Amino acid sequence: IFSEVAAKNNQTLFIVGGYVRDLLMKRQSPTDIDFVTEGNGIELAKSIAKELNPKLKVSIFKNYGTAMFKHEGLDLEFVGARKESYAEDSRKPSVEIGTLEDDQKRRDFTINALALSLNKENFGDLIDPFDGVQDIKKKILRTPLEPSQTYSDDPLRMMRAIRFASTLNFKIEENSLNAIKNESERIKIVSLERIMVEFNKIMLSAKPSLGLKLMEETGLMQLIIPELTALKGIEEVEGQTHKDNFWHTLEVVDNISANTDNLWLRWAALLHDIGKAPTKKFVDGIGWTFHGHEFLGSKMVKNLFYRLKLPLGTDMKYVQKLVKLSSRPIALVDDGTSDSALRRLLFDAGEDLEDLFILNKADITTKNSSKQAKFKRNFEEVAIKIKE
Ligand code: CTP
């Protein structure tokens, strides 16, 4: 039906973007499909929807020249091929009608610039002017145009590069990585909502440290969540050092990600030591201390969620609570567990006790195997006592 209606309207029709990429990579079933036509996208969407089912509701976004409707559980989005140029200091593009190749050129990465023809003369052909298939095989993220052009057209793409690197386990090609490093400051013109959509996809990837490391390396972390960059580094006083809390945090996030897909539990791991940079002190006779970091940390969680425009309701409170309690189960044992302290923990953790244990286990990152065994033993002791 799709190609017949397009032919009847004298328009070409192609599937582009993530659907084609995921098809070639044999990744999970799609939720949306993007179509491009050389001609009017809105009119074609309307004609196709009418042919499928006259009652279908088509949503039209005139400003973007796009239209979409739902069909068999999928979001189908249509757009007319465009030539686009962006003004220096804004995301608002000036749009001109273009060919398929113009449209492919202005996409973010070669792996997202593949098109599948739905036209009679070459139905099913893959149109790949920028060697996206090669890049899928080589696991490389490369921009169709000069990286600085692609990224300045939409600086969110710097975050998208890192997001795809993290979720697909791809490498960002060297020129591209350098362009991100040089232009990271331009992320400031992008709304936090769009940035956090990409950030949360990094957090939900199998190994979030891949993306978090790239954010740090490119300077984007310092610009978006400087509180995490502040955890970096090791200081030495009188021959005593402390662990680098930034790298430790990445390890904890990876550990927890092996055990849960709960986004906010992963966030709790990301922020569990956030209070350590501002509370760090060297005390004579004791060494490095981070006194009260859990309390300060849970306050910082609120400010951070507010600034990053993350939800401020139960999800934020849950993260705050886990950050506040994060080291208590292990600390309890070191202090000699008393029943009242256990009862207090039980009361404070409430229904989130199980998640607190998951966080605590992920937090044991010491390479010293006897220390590791001791922590695990102590921690399990507390867990068992509490469950009793
Ligand atoms: N795109 C782009 N630049 C952006 C966002 C999107 O060039 N800043 C293009 C890419 O070609 C992308 C397509 O629009 O493939 C659809 O974008 P989106 O739905 O956000 O991503 P997908 O590639 O579909 O990936 P996923 O479904 O994993 O989010």
φ, ψ dihedrals at 60, nearest 5°: -115, 130
Write the CA distances from 108 to 23, 152, 156, integer angstroms. Answer: 18, 11, 10
- Alpha-carbon span 7 to 21, nearest angstrom: 25
User: Which residue's CA is the nearest one to ligand 1's atom 27?
Assistant: 18
Residues facing 115 on adjacent strands: 16, 127
Q: Which atom of ligand 1 is nearest to the CA of 31?
A: 27
Q: Mapping DSSP to helix (H, G, I), strand (E, B) and coil, where does residue 74 land?
A: strand
- pLDDT for 94: 60
- Model confidence over 228-265: pLDDT tens digits? 999 998 888 888 888 889 999 999 999 999 999 999 99
Write the CA distances from 93 to 63, 64, 112, 364, 383, integer angstroms. Answer: 10, 9, 20, 49, 56
Number of Cβ within a 10 Å radius of residue 301: 27
For residue 17, the CA-to-ligand 1 centroid distance in Å is 6
On whether the pTM is more than 0.80, the answer is yes
For residue 44, the CA-to-ligand 1 centroid distance in Å is 21
> Mean pLDDT over all residues of the chain?
91
**Residue 335: which pLDDT band, with cuts at 50, 70 and 90?**
low
Asked which of 2-16, 194-208, 236-250 is least confident by mean pLDDT, the reply is: 236-250
- pLDDT for 89: 53
Question: In terms of Cα–Cα distance, which of 36, 21, 41 is closest to 119?
Answer: 36
- Is pLDDT above 90 for 286? no
**The CA-based dihedral angle spanning residues 106, 168, 177, 224, taken in that order and rounded to the nearest 10 degrees:** 90
For residue 33, the CA-to-ligand 1 centroid distance in Å is 10
- pLDDT for 136: 98
Q: Which atom of ligand 1 is nearest to the CA of 17?
A: 15
- Is pLDDT above 90 for 377? no
Please tell me which of 14-28, 75-89, 167-181, 341-355 the model is most confident about, judged by mean pLDDT.
Answer: 167-181
**Residue 143: which pLDDT band, with cuts at 50, 70 and 90?**
very high
CA angle 124, 129, 130 (to 5 degrees): 125
φ, ψ dihedrals at 10, nearest 5°: 65, 35
User: Which residue's CA is the nearest one to ligand 1's atom 13?
Assistant: 17
- Alpha-carbon span 2 to 300, nearest angstrom: 52
Q: Which atom of ligand 1 is nearest to the CA of 167?
A: 28
**Residue 388: which pLDDT band, with cuts at 50, 70 and 90?**
confident
Candidate from 34, 64, 78 with most ligand 1 atoms within 8 A of CB, to mutate: 34
- Model confidence over 77-130: pLDDT tens digits? 999 998 865 545 555 556 678 899 999 999 999 999 999 999 999 999 999 999
Q: Which atom of ligand 1 is nearest to the CA of 164?
A: 28
- pLDDT for 37: 96
For residue 90, the CA-to-ligand 1 centroid distance in Å is 19
User: Which residue's CA is the nearest one to ligand 1's atom 16?
Assistant: 17
In which element (H, E) is residue 130 found? none
- Alpha-carbon span 79 to 92, nearest angstrom: 16
Q: Which residue has the tokens 């996206």?
A: 132
3-class SS letters over 301-354: HHHHHHHCCCCCCHHHHHHHHHHHHCCHHHHHHHCCCCHHHHHHHHHHHHHHHH
For residue 157, the CA-to-ligand 1 centroid distance in Å is 9
Tokens of 224: 């978006």
Which residues lie with the beta carbon below 6 Å from any ligand 1 atom? 17-18, 34, 107-108, 112, 154, 156-157, 160
- Alpha-carbon span 374 to 377, nearest angstrom: 5
